[in-house]
Amino acid sequence: MSITNDAYAARFGCSFVEDGGVTSAAGFKAAGVHAGFRKNPGRLDMALVVADEPCACAGVFTQNIFCAAPVQVSKEHLSEGGVGGPAYGTARAVVVNSGCANAATGEPGRENARKMAAITADVVGCTADEVVVASTGVIGVHLSMEPFEVGVPAAWQQVSKQGGADAARAIMTTDTVPKECAVTFSGDAIGYPGVTFTVGGMAKGSGMIMPNMATMISVITTDAPVAAPHLHTALKTAVNMSFNKVTVDSDTSTNDTCFMFASGAAAPEAAPFEPGTPAFEALQAAVNQVCAALARLMATDGEGATKLVTVSVYGAATPAEADLAARAVANSPLVKTAIFGHDANWGRIAGALGRSGAHFAQENVYIEIMGMPVCRDGLTVPFDEDEALRRFEEPEIVIEVDLGAGGEGTTIWTCDFSHDYVSINGDYRS
């Protein structure tokens, strides 16, 4: 049931690359610079990721009605799937700024997003619609173009295989650490003997809960050969099992954006991966792995978080109800404050399940916290409080629920609630 899907990844020989990131895959370079969106000259605030050649690109975006100008413009630039269809096409570069979201800025905002792409295209040497864009920061403020005039040429001068780390740092807002990872998989057993493929990426959170509109931005790259429509399918599948399972409401902020590029540079002469083949399955496993790792990093880096919290719900009547139930628990401030307070207060979990909208009978519910049964048949189970306290020392707190209402399940990641606010709620039982 683990969404990280280690077994699946292992089957395809995925393994993590040390210090891997958005430039681990062949055919990509990156840089992060201080362009001037932020006042502090020591803070990187613009990232550029470029492919050596125009290549397949796909995007997955926020569903928020107030979707930002860069989202609208990137959709225009990835329009091979048609208006309102899946966002994919050909692209050479992605430019991302932090400090201003360019959201709720109307037609002038869209003009600025188009100009941001045009400036980048001029410098990189491609067409404007081969550049996709993302912005994160304050909403309702117009985006300055001057920093791009300075920053894009500076970044272009600096782009390198080592630049992924700076790029990951440049897209941070309230994040406390940059978020990067990469995995490789062998082509030996999937029809590409002797080739090693790489999928890498970077992402930004997301504070505790929806800070800074919780903008989630991620750029994933691979050197596997994949056509744009199939790349979109793989990306969408991975996003639904990873970023969309982190409860920072990031799936619905104004600027959420995830791009994926496929250069094919690991096997330039080879036939592209086709859906349904072992090669495509291996790629999917690798993309899942990278997105899940980045999503877990996002949850772990919640503002003030002391714990990664994993909520798994089994035995739901439908996948949608499993999701409702797991989200209700993961979003409950009461549950999150109890975890911060190292309090195995399962009543709060039960309360969240009961109001989630999922259908079940109270007397069929089973709940475990850190592997300790705390509720069976809807009733309290005596447990060793000292042992519970010991288990709460772990960096990841696992809550597992069986609703006893069916065969569906899901896993959601979140973080605990700390700070003084929590001191009121965290020790309620004492």
- In the range 125-154, which residues lie near its own copies by CB under 8 A? 138-141
Q: Taking CB under 8 A as the rule, does residue 346 contact its own copies?
A: yes
Q: Is 165 among the residues that bind its own copies (CB under 8 A)?
A: no
Question: Does 176 engage in binding with its own copies (CB under 8 A)?
Answer: no
Q: Which is nearer to its own copies, 211 or 275 (CB)?
A: 211
Q: Are 56 and 228 in contact (CB under 8 A)?
A: yes
Active site residue 215: yes
The correct pick among 361, 385, 387, 396 for binding its own copies (CB under 8 A) is: 361
**Distance (Å, rounded) from C-alpha 266 to C-alpha 24?**
11
Q: Which of 215, 257, 300, 411 is catalytic?
A: 215
In whole angstroms, the minimum distance from the beta carbon of 88 to its own copies comes to: 24
The nearest distance, CB 400 to its own copies, in angstroms, is: 17
C-beta of 348: minimal distance to its own copies in Å? Answer: 7
Parallel, antiparallel, or unpaired for β 396-402 and 308-316?
Answer: parallel
Residue 191 binds to its own copies (criterion: CB under 8 A): no
| 101 near its own copies, rule: CB under 8 A | yes
Does position 257 bind its own copies by CB under 8 A?
no
353 binds its own copies (CB under 8 A): yes
Residues in contact with its own copies, shown as a per-residue x/- string from 410 to 429 under the rule CB under 8 A: -------xxxxxx-xx--xx
If the CB atoms of residues 272 and 404 are measured against its own copies, the closer one turns out to be 404
Determine the Cα–Cα distance for residues 41 and 34; give it in Å rounded to an integer.
Answer: 6
Closer residue to its own copies (CB): 269 or 420: 420
CB 9 within 8 A of CB 289: yes
Binding test (CB under 8 A) with its own copies, winner from 150, 154, 195, 210: 210
> Residue 192 contacts by C-beta under 8 Å, 6 or more apart in sequence?
267, 270, 279
Q: Which of 85, 12, 89, 64 is nearest to 260 (CA)?
A: 89
Greatest CA separation for the chain: 68
Could you tell me which of 17, 29, 31, 59 has the C-alpha nearest to residue 181? 17
**Binding residue for its own copies, selected from 25, 30, 87, 103, defined by CB under 8 A:** 103
Q: Select from 378, 388, 391, 398 the one that contacts its own copies (CB under 8 A).
A: 378
Least gap, CB of 362 to its own copies (angstroms)? 5
Say if CB 78 and CB 91 are below 8 A apart.
yes
- What is the smallest separation between the CB atom of 139 and its own copies, expressed in angstroms? 3
CA pseudo-torsion sign 47, 52, 54, 58: negative
Find the part of the chain contacting its own copies (CB under 8 A) among 17-25, 101-109, 221-229, 272-280: 101-109
Nearest distance, CB of residue 141 and its own copies, angstroms = 7
| One of 41, 42, 84, 106 touching its own copies (CB under 8 A) | 106
- Determine, following the binding rule CB under 8 A, whether residue 275 of this chain makes contact with its own copies: no
Residue 329 interacting with its own copies (CB under 8 A): no
**Cβ at position 339, least distance to its own copies in Å:** 14
CA 161 – CA 17 distance, rounded (Å): 14
Site for its own copies in 5-64 (CB under 8 A): 63-64
Q: How many residues bind its own copies (CB under 8 A)?
A: 59
Give the shortest CB-222-to-its own copies separation in angstroms. Answer: 30
Residue nearer to its own copies on the CB measure, 91 or 374:
374
Structure tokens at 422: 């929590």
CA-wise closest residue to 131 among 146, 144, 148: 148
Closer to its own copies by CB, 153 or 354: give it. Answer: 354
Interface contacts to its own copies, rule CB under 8 A: 63-67, 101, 103-106, 138-141, 174, 207-213, 249, 252-254, 303-304, 332-334, 345-348, 350-351, 353-355, 360-363, 375, 377-380, 417-422, 424-425, 428-429
Residues marked as catalytic: 215
